[in-house]
């Protein structure tokens, strides 16, 4: 590794020209990134994409943060800062939560260009701002996660991570300058002043604290950045004591970020040790004893061992080799939902490159430029974990490509600018070349955004059904609906949901899927009763009292739902579940009211739902059904029960169900094919499904006569054929 070079901008005195150029370029890059996100805005201006004057959200997590902000969501102390930020924007603008959730992502996400512009200004390379900002803020991996209606962590997580890395880079650059000055002087190596170091630690630590406060899942990434910072820090520092100090300073920065109170306490100890009590600790043994104690404090108070375990847990969660049935300590092989989650799906290499760097050749150019940048300015290794996450998306899942635009942008901006400067090209020439790169990247991204269309995660009929439940159900009621829509229920209905984007696996996934997938309405109702009784008994054993009818008793609803089964072996648990389909069992009368919502939206997920709902608790395998939409011109021979497709293919049907806005018409044949047809006369959709899907409550309770289930469920909301809500009898 070459010697660590300082930024040109420091020695140049930061003339006014580079400042103005950097600011103007940053504003232009921000405008481009904002414009890219606005391309789909006209398509959202449709009545069927609005509910009560608010647009529908484009991601499930948006409803989580909006529900948390309005006080109706599942409690989560870790996300309370984000809820408070949302309330602040709500109070500041006077806009409804739904409108904030729709527009804020596209306004906040492009802010990532400004800390990058600051780095370009420090290097006295303002010509690098435009390509760097457009690529970092506009690549599809980041853009698709910060579109209209994508109100979640990602609109701030990249900005805050880049801000932290930039602050840490400035800190280490100042440390390098001071270390070199000490080496060139006759002062002893312990003559440095700790005051500036403490201030830099505090600023970097606070920026890291802001990152982790608003994005708790970023803690492993922050730890990786801190680990990477050790490499150039140790290389550019001479002397054992000086190296001990910089390692301690980085540890203090990390502790401030992840545990602010203890970080401030440790900072106070060090300020005292190097201030009024410096003469006590300038000796060798006292210094090393203090350093060792501080390192141990960072390790344990910063939960570094826990972070290592968390990294492996996250890798295991996304890694494809993890089986979907995971055997727990109690030996029940409960299902895992991860491989039905879109963002966890794997990516081919060329798709990863396009989502991380616009195109594969721009991605490659950016990586080469970034390698050169790290060769000339090793402190930019701080951004290497982001590149590793983007490349790792081929096995970890598509969401991690959002990090790739930053290192690729640094390479296309600062890296190529330094390379051209090293070749002797004047700034005007460099500006033309880099602006051309920015123009090409912007045009390519503009073409890519042309494929974006509004993608609300639920239909307006579904949302209106949930709004109706807000007015017609008691506050302590719980709604059983497929977990993808749990957050939406917490926002629109302002009621607790069984399952959501966090409570969506194993002991939540299995009972929820069974209720939808079973062919027995009695089993569905009694599974809901069994889970609710189990949770209430655990809650009462904890010494709590339940007051009915006041508000969602989240503390009760967050109890383990399968506590009764976890004490059984797999065979006994399976028999207990199967018995729920037989005779009606006695249940307590004081259970809080439970509702089951079935929706047309869920039919697209019927394959996964029936897989998880027909799960074997011993083998850890599911038997899912099949469902498929048939496009093009189709016809059904009503005499023979034969489906004719536009491709001249035929399929014998056992049944055909025609539904319209107000009616249904069922026809059956004795073909014994195991296939059924379903036609929605409103949407003009034709679906074929096998016996498993057709007999499931997901289909039967949504589309058949509600009186068939009256012994177990009472119909309370009928938005046929879009949605129905039943109260458990």
DSSP state of 468: H
Look at strands 54-55 and 642-644 and give their pairing: unpaired
**Confidence label for 289 from pLDDT (cuts 50, 70 and 90):** confident
Residue 238 confidence (pLDDT): 80
- pLDDT value at residue 595: 98
pLDDT digits (tens, 9 = 90+) for 199-256: 888 999 999 999 999 998 888 899 999 999 999 988 888 877 778 888 888 999 999 9
Give the pLDDT confidence of 578-611 residue by residue, as tens digits: 999 988 889 998 899 999 999 999 999 999 999 9
Terminus-to-terminus CA distance in the chain, angstroms? 72
Provide the pLDDT for residue 130: 96
Best mean pLDDT range from 141-155, 256-270, 387-401: 141-155
Contacts of 706 (CB under 8 A, 6+ apart): 713, 715, 718, 724, 726
CB of 436 within 8 A of CB of 444? no
**Residue 493 clears pLDDT 80, i.e. is over it:** yes
Q: What share of the chain is helix, strand, coil (3-state, %, to 5)?
A: 60, 10, 30
- Residue 294 confidence (pLDDT): 82
Bridge-based pairing of strands 594-599 and 478-480 is parallel
Quick one: pLDDT at residue 239? 77
pLDDT band of 661, cuts 50, 70, 90: confident
Q: Where residue 708 falls among pLDDT bands split at 50, 70, 90?
A: very high
Show the 3-state SS of 334-355: EECCHHHCHHHCCCCHHHHHHH
Q: For residue 193, what pLDDT is reported? A: 64
**C-beta separation of 656 from 666 below 8 A:** yes
Residue extents of the structural domains in the chain: 344-424, 460-604
Smallest CA-to-CA distance from 7 within 205, 148, 174 is with 174
How much is the pLDDT for 184? 60
Least confident of 517-526, 561-570, 670-679: 561-570
The yes-or-no verdict on residue 16 having pLDDT over 80 is no
Q: What percent of the chain has pLDDT over 90?
A: 64
Q: What is the mean pLDDT of the chain?
A: 88
Q: Evaluate if residue 3 carries a pLDDT over 60.
A: no
Read off the pLDDT of each residue in 696-705 and give the average, rounded to a whole number: 96
Which of 9-23, 90-104, 474-488 shows the lowest per-residue confidence on average (mean pLDDT)?
9-23
Write out pLDDT tens, residues 319-365.
443 444 444 444 788 888 765 665 556 789 999 999 999 999 999 99
CA distance 172 to 249: 10
Residue with tokens 């806009």: 95
**Residues found in the chain:** 729
More confident residue, 655 or 194: 655
Q: Over 60: is that where the pLDDT of 527 sits?
A: yes
**Quick one: pLDDT at residue 329?**
40
According to CATH, the topology of domain 460-604 is Pyruvate Kinase; Chain: A, domain 1 (3.40.1380)
C-beta separation of 620 from 509 below 8 A: no
What percentage of the chain exceeds 70 in pLDDT? 88
Which has the closest alpha carbon to 319: 339, 303, 348? Answer: 339
Reported confidence tier of residue 12, pLDDT bands at 50, 70, 90: very low
């Amino acid at each position: 590794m070459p010697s660590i070079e300082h930024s040109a901008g420091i020695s140049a005195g930061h003339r006014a020209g580079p400042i103005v150029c950097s600011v103007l370029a940053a504003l232009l890059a921000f405008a481009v990134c904002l414009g890219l996100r606005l391309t789909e805005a006209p398509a959202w201006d449709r009545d069927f994409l609005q509910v009560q004057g608010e647009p529908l959200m484009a991601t499930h997590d948006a409803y989580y943060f909006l529900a948390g902000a309005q006080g109706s969501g599942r409690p989560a102390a870790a996300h309370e800062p984000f809820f408070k930020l949302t309330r602040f924007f709500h109070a500041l603008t006077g806009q409804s939560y739904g409108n904030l959730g729709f527009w804020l992502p596209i306004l906040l996400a492009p802010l990532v260009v400004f800390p990058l512009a600051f780095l370009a200004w420090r290097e006295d390379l303002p010509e690098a701002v435009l390509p760097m900002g457009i690529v970092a803020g506009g690549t599809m991996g980041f853009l698709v996660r910060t579109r209209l209606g994508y109100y979640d962590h990602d609109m701030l997580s990249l900005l805050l991570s880049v801000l932290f890395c930039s602050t840490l880079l400035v800190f280490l650059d100042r440390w390098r300058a001071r270390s070199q000055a000490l080496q060139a002087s006759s002062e002893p190596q312990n003559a440095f002043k700790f005051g500036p170091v403490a201030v830099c630690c505090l600023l970097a630590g606070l920026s890291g604290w802001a990152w982790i406060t608003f994005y708790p899942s970023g803690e492993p990434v922050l730890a990786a950045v801190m680990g990477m910072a050790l490499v150039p820090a140790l290389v550019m520092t001479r002397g054992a004591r000086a190296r001990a100090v910089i390692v301690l300073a980085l540890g203090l920065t990390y502790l401030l970020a992840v545990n602010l109170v203890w970080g401030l306490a440790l900072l106070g100890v060090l300020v005292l040790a190097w201030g009024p009590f410096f003469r006590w600790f300038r000796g060798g043994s006292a210094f090393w004893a203090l350093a060792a104690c501080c390192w141990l404090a960072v390790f344990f108070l910063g939960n570094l061992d826990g972070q290592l375990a968390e990294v492996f847990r996250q890798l295991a969660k996304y890694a494809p080799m993890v089986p979907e049935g995971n055997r727990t300590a109690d030996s029940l092989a409960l299902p895992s939902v991860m491989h039905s989650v879109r963002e966890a799906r794997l990516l081919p290499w060329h798709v990863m490159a396009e989502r991380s760097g616009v195109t594969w050749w721009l991605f490659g150019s950016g990586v080469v430029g970034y390698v050169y940048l790290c060769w000339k300015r090793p402190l930019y290794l701080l951004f290497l974990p982001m590149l590793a996450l983007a490349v790792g998306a081929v096995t970890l899942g598509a969401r991690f490509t959002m990090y790739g635009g930053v290192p690729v942008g640094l390479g296309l901006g600062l890296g190529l600018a330094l390379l051209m400067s090293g070749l002797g090209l004047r700034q005007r020439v460099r500006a033309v070349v880099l602006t051309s790169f920015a123009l090409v990247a912007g045009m390519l991204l503009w073409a890519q955004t042309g494929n974006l269309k509004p993608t609300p995660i639920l239909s307006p009929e579904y949302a209106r059904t949930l709004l109706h439940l807000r007015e017609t159900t008691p506050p302590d009621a719980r709604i059983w609906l497929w977990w993808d829509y749990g957050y939406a229920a917490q926002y629109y209905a302002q009621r607790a949901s069984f399952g959501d984007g966090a409570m969506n696996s194993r002991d939540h996934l299995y009972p929820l899927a069974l209720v939808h997938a079973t062919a027995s309405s009695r089993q569905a109702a009694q599974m809901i009763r069994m889970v609710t009784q189990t949770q209430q008994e655990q809650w009462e054993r904890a010494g709590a009292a339940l007051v009915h009818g006041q508000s969602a008793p989240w503390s009760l609803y967050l109890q383990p739902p399968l506590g009764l089964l976890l004490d059984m072996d797999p065979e006994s648990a399976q028999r207990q579940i199967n018995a729920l389909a037989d005779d009606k069992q006695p249940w307590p009368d004081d259970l809080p009211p439970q509702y089951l919502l079935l929706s047309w939206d869920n039919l697209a997920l019927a394959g996964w739902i029936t897989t998880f709902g027909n799960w074997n608790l011993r083998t850890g395998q599911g038997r899912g059904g099949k469902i498929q939409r048939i496009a093009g011109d189709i016809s059904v021979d009503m005499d023979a029960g034969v489906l004719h497709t536009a491709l001249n293919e035929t399929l014998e049907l056992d049944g055909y169900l025609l539904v319209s806005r107000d009616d249904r018409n069922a026809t059956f044949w004795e073909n014994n094919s195991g296939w059924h047809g379903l036609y929605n006369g409103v949407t003009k959709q034709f679906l074929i499904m096998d016996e498993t899907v057709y007999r499931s409550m997901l289909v039967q309770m949504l589309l058949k006569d509600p009186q068939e289930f009256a012994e177990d469920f009472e119909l309370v909301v009928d938005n046929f054929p879009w949605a129905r809500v039943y109260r458990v009898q």
